[in-house]
Amino acid sequence: MPDINKLKQIASQVRRDIVRMVHGVQSGHPGGSLGCTEFLVALYFELMEHRSEFNMDGQGEDLFFLSNGHISPVWYSVLARSGYFPVEELATFRKINSRLQGHPATEEGLPGIRVASGSLGQGLSVALGAALSKKLNNDDKLIYSLHGDGELQEGQIWEAAMFAAHHKVDNIISVVDWNGQQIDGPTLEVMHLGDLRAKWEAFGWEVIDLPDGNDMEAVVNSVRYAQTLTGKGKPILILMVTAMGKGVDFMEGTHKWHGIAPNDEQLEQALAQLEETLGDY
Amino acid sequence: MKKFTYTEKKDTRSGFGVGLLEAGRSNPRVVGLCADLIGSLKMGDFKKEFPERFFQVGIAEANMMGLAAGLTIGGKIPFTGTFANFSTGRVYDQIRQSIAYSGKNVKICASHAGITLGEDGATHQILEDIGMMRMLPHMTVINPCDFNQTKAATLAIAEHVGPVYLRFGRPAVPVFTPADQKFEIGKALLLNEGSDVSIFATGHLVWEAIEAGEKLAEAGIDAEIINIHTIKPLDEEAILDSVSKTRCVVTAEEHQRNGGLGDAIAQLLARKAPAPMEMVAVNDSFGESGKPAELMKKYGLSSENIVEAVQNVLKRK
C-alpha cells in the first residue's frame, strides 16, 4: 500500500522547490510545474522502478520522458529529491554554467534526462522509440511520458499517436496534463482541443480519465490501473485534469502564471502555504 | 592525369541499400526506419531479412526522427530513410532538438538529394540540405560519390558513434571507387595529384571533376583532384596542404553555393590561407523538372563548368 501522506509531504517540498527556483532566477514556468507535482512525485517515489545511478540506456528500469519541457522545475526537484543529483544544485536553475538548463537537456550531462525537450510535440515520438527499444531488448519495463494539453496542437503528436496504435506499442503510458491553459489563454479560446477522449480513442489508444490529477491517491490508483492495461496490444493514455498553479492560491487556475516568476513578497505568500517537509535546498 | 575507368553505372542509393543490409548482418543493434519510401531508398532487403528490426512509419517524417532518437536509448543504431528534402528541411527542429542537441546516435540517410532527382522538380530537389546539416553542432555530414563509396560509408557510419547525415542520390553514375576501399570519416581522398589548381568535389560532382581533369590535362593544366566525401568534419589538413601547393581553388557540388562545400572551404581558407577561389554550385535558385544530365548542364554543374571555373581561377592566381 502506498503511503499517501508521505507522498503528499514530498509534494509540498517539491512545490516549495519550484517557487524558490523560479524566484531565484526570476524566470521559468511555475504554473504547469505546480499542476503536475502530484503526478511526478507519485511516479518517482511510488510508481516507477528506476535507479538514481543514472544510465542513459536505462535497461531494466522504467523510463520517464517529459515532452512539455518547460515544466522543468518540477522534474528537476523530483530528480534531485530522488537522489539523481544534489538538492543544492537546484539553486543553479537557469543560471550560467548550470546543468539545470531552462528546458531539460542532455548536453551538460544532468542525470535523469535522456533527451532534450522544450520545442513542443516531440516527446511522444521519442518515448515511443524508447518503448520499441525496450521491446527489441526483451525488457519488460515501461515507458511513461507527460504532455501538455496545449502541446496536442502540434501535428507530430498525432503522427506519433497513429504510429503507436498501428505498431501496437503497448508498453507505454502517456499522460496529458489537461489544465486547459496555454500561454495566450484558455485552450478553449486559443485552439479548442475538442473531445480529447474521442480523439485518442479514434487513434487507437486505451484512454483513462483522471478527473483530479492533484489528488495524490487518485493519481496513484489511476497509474496503477493503467499498468494493468499494458501488454495488451494498445498504447495507454491518461487524461489527467489538473489545476495550473495548484498549491499556491494566487497562481491557481490561471494561465497568467504559465511563465512568470513571483517577486519577493509573492514568494513569501507562496511559501506560507507550503509546508517545508524535507528541508529547503 | 591519372586514368580513371569504370565498367558500370549504378545509383548511390543502391550502395546505401547494400551497405545497410551488410551493417544489419554484422551488428544486431542496427535498426531501420522508413517513411513510405522503402523501394526508393533500397531498404527492402533489410526489411525482408530483419522484419523485427524495421519500422514502417508512414508519411510522418517528424515522428520518424523522434522515434529514431528514442530507439538509441537502449542501444539501438537507427538508420532513417527518406528523400533528402524530407530528411532535413521538413524535420529540422526534430533533428536539432531530439537528435543533434541530445547527442543521439542516429544515422539520417537521405536519398534523391540535389537536382539529379530529375523530373519530380524543385519541390523535391533539395539543394540546401548540406548547409542545414553542417550548421548543427555534433552533426557529421557525408556525401559519397558512387555506389561503392556509399556502401562503404554506410558501413562506416554504423561504427561511428554520433549523429550523421548521409546524403546520396537517384541517378546511375559511374562506379570508379575500388570496392574494397575502406571509408574513413573526415579523411579526404586524393584522386589525382596536380600542381596548377586544387579541385575539391563532393558527391556526384566528383566524377564530373575527374572528367574535367582529363580535359584540363589535354590543355596542359595539371589539376589536383580531391574527393571531399565528408563535409563535416572537414579534412582541413588535406585542403590546406593542397592549396599551399596550387595556390588556387575550385569547389564542385550539387548544392546551393550558400551553405555548401564551397562555403565550408572558403571559410577555412579565409581564416588560414586565402587563395583565389571559384565555386561550381547552384547559384541561389530552385531547380526544375528535366532529365538529370539536362539539369546538370542547365544549372552549371557539369564537367564543362568545372573546366571553365578552373580557367577563370587561374587568371586570378
The cell numbers describing A255, all together, are 494561465
Q: Do A119 and B65 touch (CB under 8 A)?
A: no
Contacts of A159 in chain B (CB under 8 A): 58, 60, 62-63
Report strand pairing: B223-227 vs B230-232.
Answer: unpaired
pLDDT above 90 as % of chain B: 100
How many domains would you assign to chain B? 2
- Residues of chain A with C-beta less than 8 angstroms from the C-beta of B107: none
Write the residue in A57, A126, A134 that is nearest to B69 by C-beta.
A126
Q: Which of residues 194-253 of B touch A (CB under 8 A)?
A: none
CA distance A152 to A150: 5
Domain that holds residue B79: 9-174
B213 and B67 in one domain?
Answer: no
Nearest chain B Cα distance for residue A12, angstroms = 32
Distance CA A34, CA A16 (A): 9
Note whether B157 and B226 are same-domain residues.
no
Q: What is the mean pLDDT of chain B?
A: 98
Q: Number of Cβ pairs closer than 8 Å across A and B?
A: 122
ipTM at complex level:
0.97
Tens of pLDDT, residues A210-243: 999 999 999 999 999 999 999 999 999 999 999 9
Do B132 and B185 form a contact (C-beta atoms < 8 A)? no
Judge if B136 and B15 occupy the same domain: yes
Q: A-chain residues within 8 Å CB-CB of B67?
A: 125-126, 128-129, 132, 160, 163
In this structure, the answer to whether residues B230 and B270 fall within a common structural domain is yes
> Do residue B214 and residue B260 come from a single domain?
yes
**Is some CB atom of chain B closer than 8 A to the CB atom of A124?**
yes
DSSP state of B45: H
> Is B1 within the bounds of a domain?
no
Same structural domain for residues B268 and B158? no
Q: Are residues B18 and B132 in the same domain?
A: yes
Q: Could you give the residue ranges of the DSSP H alpha helices within B104-190?
A: 129-135, 147-159
Q: What is the model's pTM?
A: 0.97
Q: Does B58 touch chain A if contact means CB atoms closer than 8 Å?
A: yes
Amino acid letter for position A247: G
pLDDT confidence of residue A254 = 87
Which residues on neighbouring strands pair with residue A145, listed in sequence order? A65, A174
In a domain, B183, yes or no: no
Among B174, B197, B213, residue at a domain's last position: B174
Give the mean model confidence (pLDDT) for residues B264-278.
98
> Considering the domain boundaries, does residue B2 fall inside one?
no
Strand pairing category for B107-111 and B164-167: parallel
Query: Structural domains in chain A?
Result: 4-271 (3.40.50.970)
Is B207 within the bounds of a domain?
yes
Secondary structure class of A177 (helix, strand, coil): strand
Which of B122, B140, B174 is the C-terminal boundary of a domain?
B174
Domain membership of residue B181 (yes or no) is: no
- Say whether A130 and B70 touch across the interface (CB within 8 A): yes
Query: What radius of gyration, in Å, describes the C-alpha atoms of chain B?
Result: 19
What is d(CA A165, CA A170) in angstroms, rounded to the nearest whole number? 8
Q: Rounded to an integer, what is the distance from CA A185 to the centroid of its chain?
A: 21
Q: What percent of chain A has pLDDT over 70?
A: 100
Considering only residues 70 to 89 of chain B, which have any Cβ-Cβ distance to chain A shorter than 8 Å?
70-76, 78
| Residue of A57, A68, A110, A126 to mutate, testing the B interface (most B Cβ within 10 Å of its Cβ) | A126
Residue length of chain B: 317
CA separation for the pair B260, B231 (Å, rounded): 8
Tens of pLDDT along A119-142?
999 999 999 999 999 999 999 999
B44 in A contact zone (CB under 8 Å) = no
pLDDT at residue number B101: 98
Mean of per-residue pLDDT scores for chain A: 97
Same-domain status, B72 and B26: yes
Identify whether B184 is a catalytic site residue.
no
Residue A1 confidence (pLDDT) above 80: no
Residue A255 has what pLDDT?
87
CATH code, B111: 3.40.50.970
First-to-last CA distance in chain A?
A: 29
Distance, CA of B49 to CA of A129 (rounded, Å):
21
A176: left (phi over 0), alpha (psi -120 to 50) or beta: beta
Secondary-structure percent of chain B, ordered helix, strand, coil, rounded to 5: 45, 20, 35
The reply to whether B70 falls in a domain is: yes
pLDDT in tens, B46-102: 999 999 999 999 999 999 999 999 999 999 999 999 999 999 999 999 999 999 999
Residue B276, domain CATH:
3.40.50.920
Check whether residue B76 and residue B142 sit in a common domain: yes
Q: What are the respective helix, strand and coil percentages of chain A, to the nearest 5?
A: 45, 10, 45
**Residue B203 shares a structural domain with residue B60:** no
A172-178/A143-148 β-pairing: parallel
Distance from C-alpha of B86 to C-alpha of B94, rounded to nearest angstrom:
12
- Other Cβ atoms less than 10 A from the Cβ of A232: the count is 10
Q: Are the CB atoms for B198 and B224 separated by under 8 Å?
A: yes
Is the same domain home to B157 and B26? Answer: yes
Residues in chain A within 8 Å Cβ distance of B70:
65, 115, 125-133
pLDDT at B229: 98
- Is residue B182 situated within a structural domain? no
**Those residues with Cβ within 8 angstroms of residue B153's Cβ, 6 or more apart along the chain or in another chain:** B19, B142, B144, B166, B183, B185, B229
Q: Does A128 touch chain B (CB under 8 A)?
A: yes
The sign of the dihedral angle between the CA atoms of B22, B24, B30, B33 is positive
pLDDT above 80 (res A194): yes
Residues of chain A with Cβ-Cβ distance to B96 below 8 Å are 119
Rounded to a whole number, what is the distance in Å from the CA of A206 to chain B's nearest CA?
Answer: 20
- Return phi, psi of residue B144, to 5°: -70, 165
In terms of CA atoms, which chain B residue is nearest residue A130? Answer: B70
Say what the pLDDT of residue A2 is: 84
Q: Which of B174, B204, B220 is the C-terminal boundary of a domain?
A: B174
Q: In 3D, which of B226, B195, B189, B186 has the Cα closest to residue B210?
A: B226
Q: Looking at the structure, do residues B211 and B159 belong to the same domain, yes or no?
A: no
pLDDT of A201 > 90? The answer is yes
Q: Which residue of B has its CA nearest to A158?
A: B63
**Across chain A, how many H-helices and E-strands are there?**
10, 7
Q: Round to whole Å and give the CA distance between B21 and B292.
A: 28
pLDDT per residue as tens digits for the range B172-188: 999 999 999 999 999 99
Share of chain B above pLDDT 70, in %: 100
Instruction: Give dist(CA B52, CA B41) in Å, integer.
Output: 19
- Relative to beta strand B140-142, strand B230-232 is antiparallel
Q: Which of B8, B22, B52, B61 is catalytic?
A: B61
Tell whether B179 is covered by a domain.
no
